[in-house]
Structure 1
Amino acid sequence: MSDDTQELRRLPLHDLHVSLGARMVPFAGWEMPVQYPAGVMKEHLHTRAAAGLFDVSHMGQLLLRPKGAMADLGAALERLMPVDVLGLPEGRQRYGILTSDTGGILDDLMFANRGDHVFVVVNAACVANDTAHLREELREVAEVASVESRGLLALQGPAAETALARLVPAVAALRFMDFAVADWQGEALWISRSGYTGEDGFEISVPRGIIAPFAEALLAMEEVAPIGLGARDSLRLEAGLCLYGHDIDTTTSPIEAGLSWAIQKVRRPGGARAGGFAGEQRILRELEAGPERLRVGLRPEGRAPMREGTELYTPDGTPVGRVTSGGFAPSLEAPVAMGYVAAAQAAPGTALAGEVRGKRLPVMVTDLPFRPSTYKR
């Protein structure tokens, strides 16, 4: 543990994590459970086979309340993100990307249409900057409130629906990216059918006053085990999902990052509301002509992982990129990585080499994700 432990914020379930034997580490200004006694490998595989409970209360939760019409708020948000906000129906959630004037990524987030306001979940390390950015850019059309009275849990895995439906039966009717409010012990849970593991599952915003008994009720179920940051990272890597500050940042565009799918047709060239967002010149150009580099999946030969920062080369020794996330994939029983390479080397099947401890080791460009997702469509 670092010497700045006293300065770290504590999760509302801190005492529960400690009682479960969690190893706590500093992460994004919080004291977070990185693993429990079962260990990262077993936690990862349990989530893939049954259901894992993650405490993600370090993430930022924001409410955007319009000062006038919801359409005005939607239009303002579309100036900040290259996604379709106005077309998102009430009760649905969407992946969003805050972009800079130069087309880089300020943060990736989830936003839900709650009918009379928008609920947003942002990355922990970006909370302060995102909140300031939204307040500045939306000041004429909306109030931006930080939700401090709630924690955030994620229940992920093929048994997630079975487990959560015992407490909240209505969740069985939700589809991937649906958003609903449900009652538990007289308190409102804000539930989306989404997650960060590639598995079916839910993210649940829970009032702090009931978050401990709610988590304990889930953990009492045979299917559910507590899961730490270590397995959360290996699960999202297998699913080919970006981690802000590593795979995406202010220097990467959504197109380079392979996030073109998040830009709906209506915001693309020829669409009814094409452009009009921060960084549109670069992003629209790359949509049509292609970027100079691309995020790709990488499968190293052998058992040695290629970690973040590993330099990548063509077989003749020409530098072509670097790894941004890498580790061992328990579901595949093999190392995997993601990184950026020159567009000419981005095709699946391209043979490259990664420099590990002074040696150039073979690595193959491959499709993402490494393991197919199992969302409930």
Structure 2
Amino acid sequence: MRGPQDEAPHFEALFGRPPKVRARAPGRVNLIGEHTDYNGGFVLPMAIPQQTEVVLAPREDRQVRAFSANLGAAGKVDTYELGQEKAGKGWLDYVQGVTRVLRDEGHALGGFDLWLRSDVPLGSGLSSSAALEVALLRGLRECFGLKLDDVRIALLGQKVECDFVGAPVGVMDQMASSLAQGGAALFLDTRSLQYERVPLPTQVEPIVINSGVTHSHAGGDYRVRRAECERAAKLLGVEQLRDLPDAELPRALALPEPLGRRVRHVLTENARVLDTVRALRAGDLAALGPLLYASHASQRDDYEVSVPEIDLLVDLAREEPDVLGARLTGGGFGGSVVMLARSGKSADAARRIATRYGERAAPKATVLVPQTTPST
């Protein structure tokens, strides 16, 4: 991504004055722990190099003027008034949602001009929406002196998606965008919000490949999975599936299909997160690969959120001796695959996988991590 100083001329050309505040937030890749966050469980995301940047300046009225550089020549300055936020305006809903949530929580907020740019791919399972929310909340915190810590910013971002945009997401994405740091995974208990940054062993490097198949958390399949978990928890007499002891899995498997398999994924995925954290702390590379592959199989078979293109990427990863493990990352139904590779080998392995994928699948795969050329 370009440096922030590069964006000031674009802002000034649009709004006729220089910006006052700049803020950024990264996308995230989830190393392991999928569909556990809205079940009160454990997750292990990481920040990725791709980021969303906002450049803004306060106004003396209640108008918000916003422009997305990602729309290119089709972009225009969108305008709304604070207190008049109405959903249904595409990307602008995330901006409207932020101002609505801040006002509803009693934060003093004035109008502002906003220019934003992101290189987090949309629909890739890498939390482009969370990066936008967190970046904007950081910018508004500085611009208006809001009393918000990083955890509160994450919770407000989640509220934007759930209450305004209408995507019933857990808290992982926003927590990762707000709190994750390079070179470490964020071990997060999504119920207590306790977190710890767990460094990756120096012998491994992450790979992230976008399958080219887009997805949306606001879509029907994601909602169905969440509703299935809520129904299963109610039938099993627990508040969330996190509360179900492992010994109760046979009782869960007796539930009507497919609820038992959904429960099995959540329980075993929580265990895999804990096992992965232990392996990272111990530098036990041999344990990491099987955990990632088991997670993918569980998402594919028990949770049924994978697609053939994602499965192909995971299968191609298995053919690479320098790749330890691979799995679907993100909500599913498309998006990206995360892998762990031996240090110094990730770029070549990722390139070979993407090339072979292109020979067998219609969409084009994009290697996002490691970055081999500067983002522009």
Q: Which has the higher helix share?
A: 2
If the length of structure 1 is used for normalisation, what is the TM-score? 0.24
Greater RCO (Cα-Cα under 8 Å, separation 6 or more): 2
The structure with the greater share of residues assigned to strand is 1
